[in-house]
Amino acid sequence: MTRYIRLAAVFCALLLALLVNATRVQVFQAGSYDDNPANRRQDIARYDHPRGDILVGGVPVTGSTDTGEQLRYERSYRNGPLYAPVTGFASQEYGTAFLEHSEDAVLSGTDPMLSPFPLWNELIRARSPGGDVVTTLNRAAQQAAYSMLGRRKGAVTAIEPATGRILALVSTPSYDPAVLSGNGSAVERSWARLNDDRDKPMLNRAVRQTYPPGSTFKVVTAAAALDSGVIADVDAPTDSPAPYRLPGTTTSLTNESEGCEDASLRAAFEWSCNTVFARLGVDVGVDMMTATARNFGFNDTALRIPFSVAQSTFDTSVDRAQLALSSIGQYNTRATPLQMAMVSAAVANGGQLVSPYLVEDTTTASGAALTTTRSHPVRQAMYPATAMRMQELMEDVVREGTGGNAAIPGARVGGKTGTAQHGIGNSGVPYAWFVSWAQGYDDLEPRVAVAVVVEDGSADRGDISGGGMAAPIARAVMEAVLNSPSEHSR
């Protein structure tokens, strides 16, 4: 019987099978099991500690609420609608958007840089506390833009020209991202409600919506004309007819204002003569117009601030009539409010366009810096001399032309209005545009460049004009920036 007992002990090989199988599950297939979307562990780990904060002007605009549920911490927002286009949402059910999305690794604590000894953390399975994201926003400018837009639909973007720091990024109507933070039926209802809303409150109009820029695009066309030498003297007559028959067609382009025939560039810019700029665009030619538009940031798909930005477009395959329309910001020319703020910033910064950005710094929870200075690419959008001329032209618009509403006592202000037609046969309610920059008399350089767009279906059609509707908003934002202490002058 001894022999049989010994043989029966082979039975213990069953335990060996268990060990082999446990190794399969715990080592070799562990990765795929861990990553299975139905496995809640990653979610539990993600929400089991407070999320890092997003800071504006040194003060957090976000927070974390301990719900005591399985997914423990929920995102909270202070003044959610004001900052929603910047923060986005961080939902346990619907993922993340905007800064919450692009800085998620830092905020949620998974960024390896957050841990002083990454390998050690890996070993003891500790998650670092979430880091903080310090934004470039100017609290006062953001608030001014938001309250000036009020109940109207629109967007405001403000940039510090010398650095590319985004000072304000507002989109209305907005929403409170806190209603999406948690999970469960209330969040699902909010999600459905926000998505079904005809006013699209979750659409970030400042960076994710393109509009025909209309007359504000004349800044680009004028710069192209000056850079290419088509215009040598801004005060010389341009020899342009009014009305202007679009090349190769029988369509005639007219102006809103009188006195555009044969006007100088300065006068044409001041009074926003369509005929002059349409013809200038054709004279400059599609190659030079395209090159200049590209230098200002059009047709760039790679821009991240750090979240992605909708591509602003300038159509490169156009005939001469289409080029004429493109050059006055119609046809297929489209721009985000951020793009138009970049155009204004390039003029204000002597022709140099600094790539805009929203995140100044990321820090650990205890405040130690994570990122060293990020490099922000600089591009020559036009010659410095051209930029000087353009500044003059834009100042004239505010001092004497259509942009009078943007004037600020004690400051140099340059601007350009725009009223963009859109819709089939231009039947849509036009968009009111205003782009501008401002420099206090004590400042060494312009401190702010702004773009404002207002799309308002409820307003009387006649009232919608860049100068009437959008310029006061731009002025309020510029004043807010000029009145705040200059913290960065690099």
Partner 1 sequence: MTNAGTTVERADPPAPAVRLPRRRGIELALIVLAVLLSVYGYCGVGLAKNGTVPPGAAGYGAGLGVLALLAHFAVRLRAPYADPLLLPIGVLLNGLGLVLIYRLDLETPGDKAAPAQLVWSTLGVTLFIVIVVLLRDHRVLQRYAYVCVVGALGLLTLPIFFPAVNGARIWIRIAGFSIQPGEFAKVLLAVFYAAYLAANRNALAYAGRQIWRFKRLQLPTGRVLGPIVTIWLLSVGVLVLERDLGTSLLFFGLFVVLLYVATGRTGWIAVGLLLAALGAAAVGWLEPHVHGRIEDWLHPFATIEAGQGPNQLAQSLFAFAAGGILGAGLGLGHSILIGFAAKSDFILATAGEELGLAGLSAIFLLYGLLVERGYRAGLALRDPFGRLLAVGLASIVALQVFVIAGGVTGLIPLTGMAMPFLAQGGSSVVTNWAIVALLIRVSDSARSQYDGEDVS
Task: Tell me the sheet residues that pair with 347.
Answer: none
**Separation between Cα atoms, residue 246 and residue 225, nearest integer Å:** 18
Q: What minimum distance in Å lies between the beta carbon of 434 and partner 1? A: 50
**Separation between Cα atoms, residue 379 and residue 352, nearest integer Å:** 6
Q: Give whichever of 124 and 302 is closer to partner 1, judged by the CB atom.
A: 124
Q: Does 38 bind partner 1 (CB under 8 A)?
A: yes
Q: What minimum distance in Å lies between the beta carbon of 48 and partner 1? A: 10
Residue 215 known to be catalytic:
yes
Q: What minimum distance in Å lies between the beta carbon of 22 and partner 1? A: 5
Q: Does 186 bind partner 1 (CB under 8 A)?
A: no
Q: What minimum distance in Å lies between the beta carbon of 130 and partner 1? A: 19
Q: Give whichever of 37 and 425 is closer to partner 1, judged by the CB atom.
A: 37
Q: Does 1 bind partner 1 (CB under 8 A)?
A: yes
Q: What minimum distance in Å lies between the beta carbon of 142 and partner 1? A: 40
Q: Give whichever of 8 and 368 is closer to partner 1, judged by the CB atom.
A: 8
Q: Which residue, chain included where needed, has tokens 């840089």?
A: 113
CB 438 within 8 A of CB 341: no
**Separation between Cα atoms, residue 260 and residue 276, nearest integer Å:** 7
Q: Give whichever of 15 and 302 is closer to partner 1, judged by the CB atom.
A: 15
Q: Give whichever of 127 and 379 is closer to partner 1, judged by the CB atom.
A: 127
Q: Give whichever of 23 and 252 is closer to partner 1, judged by the CB atom.
A: 23
Q: Does 486 bind partner 1 (CB under 8 A)?
A: no
Q: Does 30 bind partner 1 (CB under 8 A)?
A: yes
Q: Which residues neighbour 92 within 8 Å (Cβ) at sequence distance 6 or greater?
A: 43, 47, 71, 74, 181, 182, 183, 187
Select from 33, 188, 233, 488 the one that contacts partner 1 (CB under 8 A): 33
Q: Does 12 bind partner 1 (CB under 8 A)?
A: yes
**Separation between Cα atoms, residue 87 and residue 180, nearest integer Å:** 13
Q: What minimum distance in Å lies between the beta carbon of 92 and partner 1? A: 16
Q: Which residue in the list 108, 174, 215, 344 is annotated as catalytic? A: 215
CB 310 within 8 A of CB 206: no
Q: Give whichever of 37 and 229 is closer to partner 1, judged by the CB atom.
A: 37
Select from 92, 117, 125, 285 the one that contacts partner 1 (CB under 8 A): 125
65 CB-contact burial (10 Å; exposed 0-12 / middle 13-18 / buried 19+): middle
Select from 58, 59, 68, 123 the one that contacts partner 1 (CB under 8 A): 123
Q: Does 11 bind partner 1 (CB under 8 A)?
A: yes
Each residue of 23-60: b (16+ CB within 10 Å) or e?
eeeeeeeeeeeeeeeeeeeeeeebbebbbbbbbbeeee
CB 210 within 8 A of CB 217: no
**Separation between Cα atoms, residue 199 and residue 237, nearest integer Å:** 45
Phi-psi region of 299 (alpha: psi -120 to 50; beta: other; left: phi over 0): left
Q: Does 192 bind partner 1 (CB under 8 A)?
A: no
Choose the stretch contacting partner 1; rule: CB under 8 A; options: 36-44, 221-229, 297-305, 396-404.
Answer: 36-44
Query: Which of 279, 272, 222, 274 lies closest to 246, judged by CA?
Result: 279
Q: Does 119 bind partner 1 (CB under 8 A)?
A: no
**Separation between Cα atoms, residue 169 and residue 166, nearest integer Å:** 7
Contacts with partner 1, residue ranges (CB under 8 A): 1-9, 11-12, 14-15, 17-19, 21-23, 25-27, 29-31, 33-34, 36-41, 44, 123-125
User: What positions carry a catalytic annotation?
Assistant: 215
